[in-house]
Structure 1
Amino acid sequence: MEPQLISHGGTRILCLAEIRGHLSLLNELAVQYRADVIVHTGSFGFFDENSVDKIHESYLRHIVAFSPLLDQELVDKISELSRANGEYVDHDVQALRDLLRGRKVSEVMDYVRGEKRLGVYSIPNLTILDESTTAVIKLDSELDLFLCGIGGSLSYQKLFHHGTFDNELNKYITAEQRHNFTPVAGDPGNVWITMLQIGEFIKTVENNSQKTQVKIMLSHPSPSREGLLAHLSVFLKMDYTISNGLHFLYPSSFNELSICPNFEFYKLKFSDARSQLSSIWVQVQNTIEKVVESEPRLQDLLSTALTCFDRIPVINSKDQDIIPLALSFNKRDVNSNTIRLQSDMYYLAFQNQWHFNLCDVTIGSMVLAYQNGRMKFEANAQGFDFTFKRSGQEVRERINSGFRRGGYGGSTGNGSRGRGTRGNYPKR
């Protein structure tokens, strides 16, 4: 995405989540909210004609439950394939794949083939933000917006696990790229964050960002809930974080001062995150070091990530040893000055860093509107459906009665599936 000067005196940044392959909606919303730029986090829906046969059955059912491109009749047929068997639910996986084969679960390939295209004015192109790619948008003649992000879910157990790599992708990778290429971690239909990606992300941001820029970090999980991502955003001096979560009915906007009782409580999330990471690192360190011992590039990326998290001060460590987060041949001292500097950075973020958490695009969105040096905030949401209260029902009664898959007020009242996980669809 090339830097561009928006000449009409302001820039409108539309923030969305969970498009799930419904790319045509991007153009509609760009026009509706007069967007100059669209920022998206969550499931974009990168599925092609062969994805149905590759994606794990549980995630395939998740796609069915929430895809805006599948009709209600098909969803009902798939729901009928599952039968309760005592404490378990039996699934006819092959029948599920047969029903979905040939069905469009994403519009991505329409755009890849050139049959459709993204907007000409509001969205001139599509930039995939990852650990090696950032974007800069010129807000005015003196100020730029710096966008960075790291995709996938966050699981401590998978931070050192690269998953499976689709060999079909090899034909798209040149010999030069293969030498420096670290495949996306995950398996068909699912991606997650690894320490190698975090290391590359840190290097990319440090090499491409400027102190004078307004900086936004995008992620799927909310940094306010995940201590490692929260520390990453503080360490890289982000002004904003934008993320999303399932089952949210409104976009939310907050800083840590507004939700934490005190500063010490805020710091506990970082200490707890480090403790979890340390317990895993002790178990995998020897194996990982053997894997990277002849790979200088991987050593560098891993050391960068570990060093970042090694800076987290440990709280209440009097009765336990502090486990260093470092390769055995690259340990360093974490002195009191380092700890003091990190605490100062935490305190600044505690008051000044702002978090935005998005709901699904079918439920709502938000706009960051920049003009004359100020970034304004606008939220749009379908809202909570309280019509069930007219008959005196309570939320719990409404759920138990199996009333539509709208879940906690997510239904639109017009037969749409909304945001719940009714029937046999598992929660993620």
Structure 2
Amino acid sequence: MAAVSPQPRAYTPGYLPNGAPPHQSGPAPGAVPLLPNQGRVIQTGPVRVLCIADVRGNLRSLNELAKAARADYIIHTGDFGFYDDTSLERIAEKTLKHVAQYSPLISEQTKKAIAQGGPGPVKSRFPASELPLSELPQLLSGELKLDVPVYTVWGACEDVRVLEKFRSKEYKVPNLYIIDEAQSMLLEVGGVKLRLLGLGGAVVMHKLFDNGEGRTTIAGGQGTMWTTLLQMGELVDTANRVYDPTETRIFITHASPAREGILNQLSVTLKADFSISAGLHFRYGSSYNEFSVNPTLDHYRGKLAASKASFNDVWETVKAEVEPAIQQVEAQQTLLKNALAVVEKMPSTAAGGNPFGGAATGQSAAALGQVDESAFKNMWNFNLADAAFGWLVLEIQDGRIGTEMRAQGFNFSHRGARQQPSTQQASAPASAPSQAAQTAAPSAPASQQRSTPVPAASPAPRQASSTPAPAQPKPATPAPAPSASPAPKEEKPAPAPAPAPAPAANGSAANDASAPPPSRTPAENIIGLFIMNAQTDDQIRDLFADEDKSKIVKIEKWGQNKVAHFKTAEERDAALEKIADEFKNRAPGQEDRSKPLVKVFSPPGRQFSRAGGAAWGSGRGGREGGNAQSGYRSAGGGGASDSEGAGRRGGRGGRGGRGGDRGGRGRGPRSGGGKGEGAGAGASEA
């Protein structure tokens, strides 16, 4: 048996079972009481901030995503689902169809029934129980709770009445914080002070001065919301009041600063270190700074100058009404000045000298606009995929902000699951389908050649000499299962062969349920109306008068758009005459492409005039002359700059020169195309 040590011990309490009373009362010898600040729980390890977009009312997914990403906080960038039990009666029919189409809460059977159309509006054909817009009522009642703090802005599809109730504190949800122009948030995590600045709603130039149905400073109506210029001015005021150089600033928006130059300039004014946005609905998130995506500074200045010119068009139109309206309200005058100062600092031309160290020789800094070097190279932008497809995590530890991006991505399984040709097809020359695909419809626009299957057209004379008989094409590739499921099994080929589809761009065609049919009517045989920006056949039929709906032979997919067929040109022209003017012409300064546009169909490859209709390009600034320069002129005015060369802005039509005379968009009498529908070749509007 070991001997007990004879050395004395200062304190020997002995071994006591848990919860047993001590041998003596009072603290143990040498114990020191805790100070108040020593009783805190200190979190070790990184703090994870989950950034997601577009949960679309599926608020239970916030808790699921937080668990999957091991997140301590959530930042959400809009289309949150701010709809309550009364929102359905206020939402517009068009907005309801859009929300229902993408809602994760509405059953697939109901979605198909809505897409197929029927008599009467959607709200009269389905009970409210089959059209759940959001799980926000469960949050408000306490049935559903948020596990982690959620910081969000509102998106484009929200109810302005609900947001006003949150702002007035009538609605309160634990762990839900709405960031807007009047309220910012500060997170002190991982040795970093994160200042969250937010701006919600869509950015639509011609609505910047429209408050809609909003009773306060929030703008919106009929289930949609947008940003106003006064909100931008108030955000600048809020950011200046809370400015602290030790903070890291994150600018949270629904619209993307990459596509909206005015938001890009606003982020510079706010001195933001990061911008987090959504609104593009990609399958992958993107991470970039302006230096990485702009080949030259002229290119970057051109993007800002384009946005400034678009804003000035609207401002000059409404200036005479806006200034008297706010003359009596000094606070609104200040906010307007703040916002106009943001636009004023933007370049008015793509040309410029040294943007980081003063103006070029003989030109003032005000004329060229300023480009912030630190923002150009250091401000990082994140555009998120929808919450159903991916997320971004900011991992913060010891003053360092790391990133982790995850995306479900595109489904490419269809490329390895092609059908085997039948015995009869095997005897046909293997190269015939590919040759037909190369030569069919040579005059079709490039956008159609990439995204639509080639029609079964007769071979060219060159082919006729090499192939004695037309070959039977291979059967079409089967549509793959959703990307979350395993690769689909091969199916037996159908008895009647169909043309093989063109290769899908980035795998997207395989996931597109609205892909065009394998064959379509040859362009030269079509008597019809070309309709852009229409999502469903039901939406197209709603454009026509009741007596003309029965005269529509069929509605056919054409590229990213559709064509309504008629038996005779007389029936077609009569139907076009009865369509409302708002669907036949674009108003000056119109930037919203959600509204359908109807023109007389003409085969691709022809030149289209305004008188003959079928002007497929948006045509901001005409190109009838054939030599009008798009983009913005470089120094000296002799042609386009190296980054905004002629013909590189075809998707939005030419804007004319932005040199001293402002090209085709001067304030005097308009000539040529002006701001009307230009003579764009090809369906550039998708």
Given residue 80 of structure 2, which amino acid in structure 1 is its aligned partner?
F
Equivalence for 2:182: 132
The 8 Å contact of residues 345 and 370 in structure 2, kept in 1 or not, is answered as no
**1:105 has 2:133 as partner:** yes
Equivalence for 2:391: 365
Q: Give the secondary structure class of the aligned counterpart of 1:164.
A: coil
- For residues 132-281 of structure 1, the aligned pairs below 5 Å read 132-141=182-191, 143-165=192-214, 182-281=216-315
- Give the structure-2-normalised TM-score: 0.51
CA–CA separation in structure 2 for the residues paired with 1:5 and 1:289:
55
Equivalence for 2:45: 9
**1:383 has 2:409 as partner:** yes
Q: Give the secondary structure class of the aligned counterpart of 1:234.
A: helix
Given residue 181 of structure 2, which amino acid in structure 1 is its aligned partner?
E
The 8 Å contact of residues 243 and 356 in structure 1, kept in 2 or not, is answered as yes
| Cα distance, 1:5–1:241 mapped onto 2, change above 3 Å | farther
**1:343 has 2:370 as partner:** yes
The 8 Å contact of residues 36 and 122 in structure 1, kept in 2 or not, is answered as no
Q: State the structure with more CA Rg.
A: 2
| Cα distance, 1:399–1:381 mapped onto 2, change above 3 Å | farther
CA–CA separation in structure 2 for the residues paired with 1:277 and 1:125:
37
- For residues 108-127 of structure 1, the aligned pairs below 5 Å read 108-119=136-147, 125-127=175-177
The 8 Å contact of residues 410 and 420 in structure 1, kept in 2 or not, is answered as no
- For residues 56-95 of structure 1, the aligned pairs below 5 Å read 56-81=92-117, 92-95=119-122
Q: Give the secondary structure class of the aligned counterpart of 1:54.
A: coil
Equivalence for 1:296: 330
| Cα distance, 1:420–1:159 mapped onto 2, change above 3 Å | farther
The 8 Å contact of residues 5 and 139 in structure 1, kept in 2 or not, is answered as no
Give 1:298 deviation, angstroms: 1.4
Given residue 350 of structure 1, which amino acid in structure 2 is its aligned partner?
F
CA–CA separation in structure 2 for the residues paired with 1:349 and 1:38:
25
CA–CA separation in structure 1 for the residues paired with 2:511 and 2:230:
34
Given residue 250 of structure 2, which amino acid in structure 1 is its aligned partner?
I
| Cα distance, 1:285–1:267 mapped onto 2, change above 3 Å | same
* Alpha-carbon displacement from aligned partner over 1:358-391 (angstroms, at most 9, x marks no partner): 0110111110111122111111111110122234
Given residue 128 of structure 2, which amino acid in structure 1 is its aligned partner?
R
| Cα distance, 1:414–1:424 mapped onto 2, change above 3 Å | farther
Give 1:294 deviation, angstroms: 1.4
The 8 Å contact of residues 298 and 351 in structure 2, kept in 1 or not, is answered as no
Q: Give the secondary structure class of the aligned counterpart of 1:52.
A: coil
CA–CA separation in structure 2 for the residues paired with 1:214 and 1:9:
20
| Cα distance, 1:156–1:93 mapped onto 2, change above 3 Å | farther
The 8 Å contact of residues 129 and 149 in structure 1, kept in 2 or not, is answered as yes
CA–CA separation in structure 1 for the residues paired with 2:284 and 2:482:
10
Aligned-pair Cα RMSD in Å: 3.2
Gapped regions of structure 2 (runs ≥ 5)? 1-39, 152-173, 353-362, 420-448, 456-475, 488-509, 515-534, 540-592, 595-686
Q: Please state which structure has a larger fraction of its residues in helix.
A: 1
The 8 Å contact of residues 263 and 350 in structure 1, kept in 2 or not, is answered as no
- Give the structure-1-normalised TM-score: 0.80
Give 1:9 deviation, angstroms: 3.3
Give 1:291 deviation, angstroms: 0.9
| Cα distance, 1:277–1:396 mapped onto 2, change above 3 Å | closer
Q: Give the secondary structure class of the aligned counterpart of 1:127.
A: strand
- For residues 12-27 of structure 1, the aligned pairs below 5 Å read 12-27=48-63
Which of 59, 66, 82 in structure 2 is aligned with 1:30? 66
CA–CA separation in structure 1 for the residues paired with 2:511 and 2:325:
43
Give 1:240 deviation, angstroms: 0.5
* Alpha-carbon displacement from aligned partner over 1:43-75 (angstroms, at most 9, x marks no partner): 001111222221111111111111111111111
CA–CA separation in structure 1 for the residues paired with 2:149 and 2:42:
11
CA–CA separation in structure 2 for the residues paired with 1:402 and 1:148:
47
Q: Tell me which moved more, 251-260 or 223-232.
A: 251-260
The 8 Å contact of residues 224 and 230 in structure 1, kept in 2 or not, is answered as yes
Give 1:309 deviation, angstroms: 1.3
Gapped regions of structure 1 (runs ≥ 5)? 83-91, 167-181, 319-334
- For residues 305-316 of structure 1, the aligned pairs below 5 Å read 305-315=339-349
| Cα distance, 1:122–1:279 mapped onto 2, change above 3 Å | closer
CA–CA separation in structure 2 for the residues paired with 1:192 and 1:257:
29
Q: Give the secondary structure class of the aligned counterpart of 2:50.
A: strand
Equivalence for 1:330: none
Give 1:410 deviation, angstroms: 6.8
Q: Give the secondary structure class of the aligned counterpart of 1:360.
A: coil
CA–CA separation in structure 2 for the residues paired with 1:212 and 1:419:
46
Q: Give the secondary structure class of the aligned counterpart of 2:121.
A: helix
Equivalence for 2:640: none
Aligned sequence identity (%)? 34
| Cα distance, 1:414–1:51 mapped onto 2, change above 3 Å | farther
CA–CA separation in structure 2 for the residues paired with 1:399 and 1:152:
39
CA–CA separation in structure 1 for the residues paired with 2:346 and 2:41:
39
The 8 Å contact of residues 363 and 410 in structure 1, kept in 2 or not, is answered as no
Q: Give the secondary structure class of the aligned counterpart of 1:51.
A: coil
